[in-house]
Amino acid sequence: MALLKALLWPVQLWNDVVLELGRWIAVVCIALMVVCILLQVFFRYVLNDALPWPDEAARFFMLWMTGLIAPLAYRQGAFVSIDLALQMMHTRLAAFVSLILLLIAGVVLYWAIGIGANEVTSLTARGKTASLYIWDFAEGGWEKMPRGYVFYSLFVGVILLFIVNVELILRSLITLLGAADELKPIVPDTDEIMAE
């Protein structure tokens, strides 16, 4: 038990810090996405002169928002799930079934990390976006953004999901061994959710 708690502590601390930071970056991303969309609507329908970049920028921010907020939602159990059967089970049996499901999810996420790594290092990732530009510090000028910057949202998101999955596996093992009451809660109070 002590070993499991010792393994859980750094993973839980990592997730507490990184996922909270990711949450705030995701909030900024969604705000920027909305600004891009409103800007495009204004230029297209009011000025009748659509800009070339807001659509692609909005997709970029949406993908990063998703990659950064999905791990937090997964950790808090906010994904859509059918958990009626688990709620009807004894705590330890439910923890055992959850553990099996988490192990399957861990295998899938590990596989997805490989796919993400291939995507960010592929020839496609070296290609340039159609209309997004970044400052090239080496050359001192603007250049089209590499598609890899977009693909990193998948890669980062899947890595964070895998780390959350490891935490959930450790928590399931601790619950299975009968020490669920010693675990720090990771789901916010309903009042806290409503305040957001």
The predicted-structure confidence for 74-108, as pLDDT tens digits, reads as follows 999 888 777 777 788 887 788 888 899 999 999 99
State which amino acid sits at residue 150: V
Q: Are 50 and 44 within 8 A, CB to CB?
A: yes
Lowest mean pLDDT segment, chosen from 29-33, 67-71, 120-124, 186-190 = 186-190
Q: In angstroms, rounded to a whole number, what is the distance separating the alpha carbons of residues 19 and 69?
A: 8
Mean pLDDT over 6-30 rounds to: 94
pLDDT single digits (tens) 132-186 = 888 888 888 888 888 888 889 999 999 999 999 999 999 989 888 887 778 888 8
- Number of Cα atoms under 13 Å in the Cβ half of residue 184: 11
Q: Are 165 and 10 within 8 A, CB to CB?
A: no
pLDDT higher than threshold 50 for residue 63? yes
Q: In angstroms, rounded to a whole number, what is the distance separating the alpha carbons of residues 37 and 26?
A: 16
pLDDT attached to residue 194: 45
Count of C-beta atoms within a 10 Å radius of residue 120: 20
What's the pTM value of the predicted model, to 2 decimals? 0.87
pLDDT higher than threshold 70 for residue 51? yes
